[in-house]
Each structure stands twice: as structure tokens, then as C-alpha cells.
Amino acid sequence: MAQDPLDKLLLERQLCFSLYAASRLLTRRYQPLLEPLGLTYPQYLVMLILWQDSPCGVGHIGARALLNTNTLTPLLKRLEQQGYVDRRRGARDERTVDLHLTPIGLALKQQCAHVPLSMAAGVAYSATQAEALKGLLDQLIQQLQIAPAVAANAQP
């Protein structure tokens, strides 16, 4: 019996929905861990980048976090208002702005050390399963970044 081509439109057959739902549910689990630290999930991602790469430019952070400048700018301003980062003109090029961690921002790293462990404890995935899933998702992200965008009027 031939399968109806419209079956491909069933929600439960959509990879995009599974990724979207998993992302939302996972991000929601971060909230009670990050809220006492005064961080949102996107701010946490930026701090992870800064703990690894500071000082660095806004473009670098946007590229690593896959965030647009219009999303990143207010987020960085809030981190600066909270005292976690300083924005300074680039040492080599004054037209650029580099983000530097403040002592408070550096200390926050120690306060966040429990977050990955708490997240891992809350999900019934073995370390092997989590690593395998992360590897598959990293491959998908890489493929999506290099694949040409699908035109709105594209037909099979």
C-alpha cells in the first residue's frame, strides 16, 4: 500500500518539532537554576562564551551563540548593568568594541559550576547517550550552516 505524501505533514513526523519541543523543555529546566543568579538562558550562553574567550568582540559572541546583533545588544547591556562585563574600545581597532569580564563576572563562573551537573542529574540520559546526541546535533547545526536556504516557492 502506497503511503500518502501528506503523511509527511503529520506533526509527529517533523524533526523540527522534536528539536523545538526538546529545546523549549530543556531551556525551561535551566530557569530555576539561573534565576537565583540573575541570569536568563541566553545570558548564561553569553557568559559561557565569555568565560572561555574573554576579551572578545560582539561579532565573535554572536557567531558562537548563533545570535543576531539585535538580540545580543540589549542582552549585553543588561550584563553590563549587572556588573558582569565591561565594554571597551578595541585595543587594535577603536571602531570595535570588546567585552571584558569584570571580577564579578569572573566570580559568577564559580557560582554557575553546579548548573551542568544539576541539569545532567535531572535528565535520565547516560553520559554516553548525551554525548552521542550532542554529536548528532552538532553535525546537524554544521550542515544547516553550510546548506543553502530553501526558497519560499521551492517545489519538490
Q: Is the pLDDT of residue 1 over 90?
A: no
- Residue 103 covered by a domain: yes
**Residue 138 placed within a domain:** no
Mean pLDDT over the full length of the chain: 92
Q: Quick check: 150 pLDDT over 90?
A: no
Q: Which residues contact 123 (CB under 8 A, 6 or more apart)?
A: 29, 130
Task: Kindly tell me if the per-residue pLDDT of 108 is higher than 70.
Answer: yes
* Position 155 in a domain: no
Over residues 86-115, the mean pLDDT reads: 91
Residue 60 lies in a domain: yes
pLDDT band at 11 (very low <50, low <70, confident <90, very high): very high
Query: What are the CA-CA distances from residue 24 to residues 18, 20, 74, 102, 133 (Å)?
Result: 10, 6, 22, 30, 16
16 part of a folded domain: no
What are the tens digits of pLDDT across the range 46-96? 999 999 999 999 999 999 999 998 999 999 999 999 999 999 887 777 788
Distance (Å, rounded) from C-alpha 115 to C-alpha 66?
A: 21
| pTM (two decimals) | 0.88
- Grid look-up 557568559 returns 47
Is 145 inside a domain boundary?
A: no
Model confidence at 147, in pLDDT bands (50, 70, 90)? confident
pLDDT greater than 70 at residue 152 = no
CATH number of the domain residue 99 falls in = 1.10.10.10
- Residue 87 placed within a domain: yes
Structural domains in the chain (count): 1
Q: Which domain holds residue 71?
A: 24-113
